[in-house]
Structure 1
């Protein structure tokens, strides 16, 4: 068990009222978790302290070379009052895989889970209970050496902050429109596309602005080499139901291995629903849309859970999906995953972890 020092706030914040809007990632709880790393000493001084600004040197390496990892998961309050995490082991595993790629020291998985549980427990009364709401949890690691030189840092901080949040998309579960990017690329095999790190998201901003200006919610990326194979959306993995089969791009080193993505594939297998991980070209999508074979499109991610898509645009080609409403597979997946998260449905072993 991780030894965690606790310093409770003496000035608690006003919590949002039950009917207050919870814009994603804008309100933060009273406390945060912090743990330090020093080369030769390892991870140490685990503590929960009042939420506060960080004190860092302007020369801290995170500012200049982007050496940082972040994760995202949620805590939920079940109807019987339990506090539940959804598959935190997968976030911890992915976090450490990102750490490896970014030359950041790994965090012991048991210590990572202890930290998550401890900080959620201390701020459990911040978990909202309205439908579609949750406590978003953001663990992250930053390089803190005050050094202007390209090498891995010798010191780091591991921090967890939390935010009571409503739906990621203002539309909620209403279908969204997706822009397929044909000018810029986000990642290539051999790079850092599979890592959860800020550089991937910074690389997406130019296209995101372009898509928003055209009235689209998110950008769908193509591969960075041939510019023709579907990869992922800026904030989620992507799925297509083509002629009765659920299809998603195979992991190739430039696609984030989403926890919800993995859950969707596991549920399809459990239900006996055909599902494939493979290459999908934008040409195949356009042909499927023209022939009517493209029955559903949806994104998957921690923030949005399942996000149905009713329109794809590639250049001048606008592809309308189905009748414009959420499809039956998207709805079933959303209902099942959120039901497991809220403790209303019994999920596969280990998917729900009680705090």
Structure 2
């Protein structure tokens, strides 16, 4: 087992001391923590010996639950990000002419921290998130943090909010890194300044169905992305455009939308916020990365794990017509994990799929979750442990 362990033995206790909170090390960062905040700020009057926040972990869903701290750092265009700071969670100040507000110059990532029985925290392939942000930043003409700084910032944020990491088996701490064009611009141009920040929230199941199978609707009126666009990077501007189709599908009782390619409208692309796989016999297929599909980290991991388990895994063009012949369909993503699809409706025809015990989806889900939570040995060097 390849294990990378990083120790921060006193950071959390130091952060939670009242004297430290009042020092220059924690607090407003160039006016960042503006007051008052419309969101509930965590109560600082707690003991640093509290292992857990006062949360009903059994009722946890995938909604925002503000935690104690967020990580913030800034840099000018063409410069490198310096050491960031852990601030109290709160509002941020932006110029009305900030590049992210006027022209959508922004990226986001998502990863999770899990708690082991011994109290250690685990991150799953955080370097992949850092690499994807750097690729996205290049596409969006932004300055990105280094891979080492990105991963270190995740560790700091998770450790500072450790009491919000759910007990083993009760969920995870979702970490949301943001890269924003925070500098002011008027004409269309890259922002002169960039902000990298990370906030966190404890979460469990992404879909309201919980772990129950999803019911997807194949969308033909709207496209998620087009060739030579930004569909392959995690820019913030990719996501609001899917809301109309998603809301329409949900109003009809579906879980989410499955998009087709924008050229022929004959091939599968991805769901609103996750990748798609189909399985028939011992063969697993997923749409190939072609510039319009996000290279999901869970997707990449499932492809490798599926091969290790003896399945034939294919990255290729997957025609929508193949949905009628598939035995199973499932979605993958950081937020959703590996989620079974119970049915897909295309042109008013519904096809049902095998779910539950004995499925490929279940086997992949248990394997990848076991690695993420430390209950299955990590033989690939994917896990970063720290405390």
Q: TM (normalized to structure 1)?
A: 0.92
- Which of 320, 341, 350 aligns to 1:318? It is 350
For the residues of structure 2 that align with 1:265 and 1:82, how far apart are their CA atoms?
28
Q: Is structure 2 residue 135 aligned with structure 1 residue 104?
A: no
- 1:35 corresponds to which residue? 73
- CA contact 2:270–2:276 (8 Å) conserved in 1: yes
Larger CA deviation: 164-173 vs 48-57? 164-173
- 1:283 corresponds to which residue? 321
For the residues of structure 1 that align with 2:298 and 2:45, how far apart are their CA atoms?
32
- 2:376 corresponds to which residue? 345
For the residues of structure 2 that align with 1:197 and 1:12, how far apart are their CA atoms?
34
- CA contact 2:356–2:362 (8 Å) conserved in 1: no
After TM superposition, give the deviation of residue 313 of structure 1 in Å.
0.6
After TM superposition, give the deviation of residue 325 of structure 1 in Å.
4.1
After TM superposition, give the deviation of residue 173 of structure 1 in Å.
1.6
For the residues of structure 2 that align with 1:187 and 1:350, how far apart are their CA atoms?
33
- 1:128 corresponds to which residue? 166
After TM superposition, give the deviation of residue 101 of structure 1 in Å.
0.9
Describe the SS at the equivalent of 1:284: helix
- 2:366 corresponds to which residue? 335
Q: Is structure 2 residue 149 aligned with structure 1 residue 118?
A: no
- 1:152 corresponds to which residue? 190
- 1:291 corresponds to which residue? none
Describe the SS at the equivalent of 1:103: coil
After TM superposition, give the deviation of residue 45 of structure 1 in Å.
4.9
After TM superposition, give the deviation of residue 55 of structure 1 in Å.
0.9
Deviations 1:43-65 (A, max 9, x none): 23511110110011112121110
- CA contact 1:68–1:142 (8 Å) conserved in 2: yes
- 1:7 corresponds to which residue? 26
- 1:63 corresponds to which residue? 101
For the residues of structure 2 that align with 1:186 and 1:242, how far apart are their CA atoms?
26
- Which of 278, 294, 309 aligns to 2:341? It is 309
- Which of 216, 220, 229 aligns to 1:182? It is 220
- 2:200 corresponds to which residue? 162
For the residues of structure 1 that align with 2:42 and 2:369, how far apart are their CA atoms?
35
- Which of 124, 133, 152 aligns to 1:86? It is 124
After TM superposition, give the deviation of residue 21 of structure 1 in Å.
2.5
Q: TM (normalized to structure 2)?
A: 0.85
- 2:20 corresponds to which residue? none
Gaps spanning 5+ residues in structure 2: where? Answer: 1-5, 7-14, 16-23, 28-40, 47-52
For the residues of structure 1 that align with 2:251 and 2:118, how far apart are their CA atoms?
44
Describe the SS at the equivalent of 1:206: helix
- CA contact 1:18–1:130 (8 Å) conserved in 2: no
Deviations 1:1-24 (A, max 9, x none): 9xx984179952783424462231
Aligned length: 346
For the residues of structure 2 that align with 1:131 and 1:13, how far apart are their CA atoms?
28
For the residues of structure 1 that align with 2:362 and 2:154, how far apart are their CA atoms?
30
- 1:220 corresponds to which residue? 258
Question: Which aligned runs of 4 or more in structure 1 are off by greater than 6 angstroms?
Answer: none
For the residues of structure 1 that align with 2:101 and 2:358, how far apart are their CA atoms?
43
- Say what the alpha-carbon RMSD is for the aligned residues: 2.0
- 1:195 corresponds to which residue? 233
- CA contact 1:36–1:158 (8 Å) conserved in 2: yes
Gaps spanning 5+ residues in structure 1: where? Answer: 289-293
After TM superposition, give the deviation of residue 243 of structure 1 in Å.
3.3
- CA contact 1:36–1:45 (8 Å) conserved in 2: no
